[in-house]
Structure 1
Amino acid sequence: MIDADDGDEEARAIRDFWGGLGLPGLIDVHTHFMPERVLRKVWEYFDTNGPLIGGLGWPITYREEETERTAVLRRFGVRAFTAMLYPHKPGMAEWLNGWAADFAARTPDCLHTATLFPEPGVEHYVRAAVESGARVFKAHVQVGDYDPADERLDAAWGVLAEAGVPVVTHCGSGPAPGKHTGPEPVARVLARHPRLRLIVAHMGMPEYEEFLGLAERYDHVMLDTTMTFTDFSESFMPFPRRALPRVAALGDRVLLGSDFPNIPYPYLHQLRALEGLELGGEWLRAVCHDNAARVFGL
């Protein structure tokens, strides 16, 4: 947790960062808001080093109440963010979608977020969420422990592909592999739904190059920067520097993500890590704002 003085200093540094790029602010496509009792369970999982954390020490830097977390993002100049939430069992997704719709209604700078799970009725509630205004979905293959190519999800992916609604998907095998993580299950989904607007979370960590390959093959596949290139992630799943030219070439399909509030370092560090790649101001402007502004019509 950051105290008030440190928070003010960080906010000024973040505003200087995007102001120096000539941007009106930041757009973060990977931030977590969810029902408080669910979020507390998530934090408890991090605090106790649950198996999916990979044995890493992972303190939560922005462990604040909901209203303060939104205030922090606004102080940072994040002009749009998401409510990434995800079920870990059947019967949970539709309830989470109801909460997220309410959160978006009372939080106008949050992109209305929804989620899904392979279960009976998934096509129905995904379609209902889209029709009610959901602008982005979250799919967490690792936590949900499901195959994204599960036939029960096929019609739901079709609905999202047809509607052009992006899906931020944690499908890489970091920080710990799951039964269905990695590029192959996602490749099967894309073979069936090549127009699905998939945003690969964490740039596919640690299968970075394989997921870059999917983005190079499918025009609608994007990647978010969540936690990548930071000192924390580089210490155990470093990004291969030989692949940076490919990241530069895909500069119109890389989007800023942070994992706020569930990060073990200050928000500013993610921005500095991106700046440290030395891919240029045009690339940074696109990643930190303009690509997401285009994708979401902001």
Structure 2
Amino acid sequence: MPGTETDEEVRALLDRLRIPGVVDVHTHFMPQNVLDKVWAYFDSAGPLTGLEWPITYREEEDRRLQILRGFGAVAFTAMLYPHKPGMAAWLNAWAADFAARTPDCLHTATLFPEPGVDAYVRQALDAGARVFKVHLQVGGFDPTDPLLDTAWGALADSGTPVVVHCGSGPAPGKYTGPEPMGRLLARHPRLRVIVAHMGMPEYGDFLDLAERYDEVRLDTTMSFTDFSERLAPFPAGEYGRLVELRDRILLGSDFPNIPYPYGHQLHALERLGLGDDWLRRVLYENGAALFHVKHAA
């Protein structure tokens, strides 16, 4: 049972913090044939990674859910994303079904700049989607593409958070980095963007956007871990800004596609030494408030 040796360690941390569990805003569940292709990409050290990336939790769907819940996840997402036109509506249909049979999953949806995007984004929202995922690196599109303008407006008006992989890690893309997102936010300043991976490696620039726009948040996915610190270390001089933005940093993990045990992400956050109040907010309270998660202690 890969990685489960940290179960007790994680539970001890949650007990010490007096929180009922974690709200993980960046976990991946998707159709098995799509996930198989994602895993094959990591196995081949594809061009966006270029390094060995073992999948720690390569398990069947039910087993992955059991493992994640075993780590105390009381709410999580089904992050999925298209890499070409014609995929998003199909992925959204799968995600709606997954959320219906998985009550602790936050109903997740996605989008792509294509004709019809307005209609299927509205359909997803009407069906109860609570969070969207956008991957500018994999999708290879400009977030300010005019085809997306109405969709972004609908997401902003509804207050629906959007987790966006917009940083240039692990490899830069044509539309990654803070500049494209800055243009998007200038047009839709109320859009609830959650910057994935803390904006790795442009951490400071994305912290700037969070300071400029009240609805911008960041998720911790893979940040501060030994794996990422070797590749794109978070600057110690920015720790003070993490404290200042303590209400807008959310736990993310990238489960199951991580090359280390789940508990290491939590340990990496704890060892920052920013205090139990900060850690409590990041692991549970901020996500619970944003997504109206109610869970008895």
TM over 0.5, yes or no? yes
Question: Aligned pair 1:64/2:59, yes or no?
Answer: yes
What is the CA distance between 1:12 and its match in structure 2?
1.3
Tell me what 2:256 maps to. 261
| 1:132 Cα offset (Å) | 0.4
Does 2:186 correspond to 1:198? no
Match of 1:294 among 271, 286, 289: 289
Secondary structure of the 1:108 match is: coil
Q: Hey, what's the Cα distance between the residues in 1 that align with 2:93 and 2:252?
A: 24
Distance in 2 between residues matched to 1:122 and 1:188, nearest whole Å:
20
Q: Give the TM-score normalised by the residue count of structure 2.
A: 0.98
Deviations 1:203-255 (A, max 9, x none): 00000000000000000000000000000000010101101101110000000
Aligned residue in 2 for 1:40: 36
**Which structure 2 residue ranges, 5 or more long, are not aligned?**
none
The code of the aligned residue for 2:39 comes to W
Shift of 1:11: 1.2
Give the AA of the match of 1:36: Q
The equivalent of 1:160 in structure 2 is 155
Deviations 1:61-118 (A, max 9, x none): 0000000000001111100000000000000000000000000000000000000000
Q: Secondary structure at the match of 2:48?
A: helix
Structure 1 residue runs without a partner (length 5+): none
Q: How many Å separate the matches in 1 of 2:117 and 2:191?
A: 17
Please state how far the C-alpha of 1:13 moved relative to its aligned partner.
Answer: 1.2
Secondary structure of 1:223's aligned partner: strand
Q: Kindly, what percent of the aligned residue pairs are identical?
A: 68
Q: Counterpart in 1 of 2:278?
A: 283
Aligned length: 293
The CA distance in 1 between the partners of 2:167 and 2:68, in whole Å, is: 26
Q: Could you list the structure 1 runs, at least 4 aligned residues long, displaced by more than 4 angstroms after superposition.
A: none
Partner amino acid for 2:273?
A: E
3-state SS of paired residue (1:235): helix
Q: TM-score, normalised by structure 1?
A: 0.97
DSSP-derived class of the 1:51 partner: coil
Q: Distance in 2 between matches of 1:13 and 1:239?
A: 25
1:111 pairs with 2:102: no
Q: Structure 2 CA distance, aligned partners of 1:80 and 1:31?
A: 10
Residue correspondence of structure 1 range 4-23 to structure 2 within 5 A? 7=4, 9-23=5-19
**Residue 267 of structure 1: how far off its partner (Å):** 0.5
Cα distance, 1:120 vs. partner? 0.4
Give the AA of the match of 1:27. V
1:163-196 Cα distance to aligned partner (Å, 9 max, x none): 0000000000000011100000001110010000
Q: Aligned partners of 1:16, 1:125: CA distance in 2, in Å?
A: 43
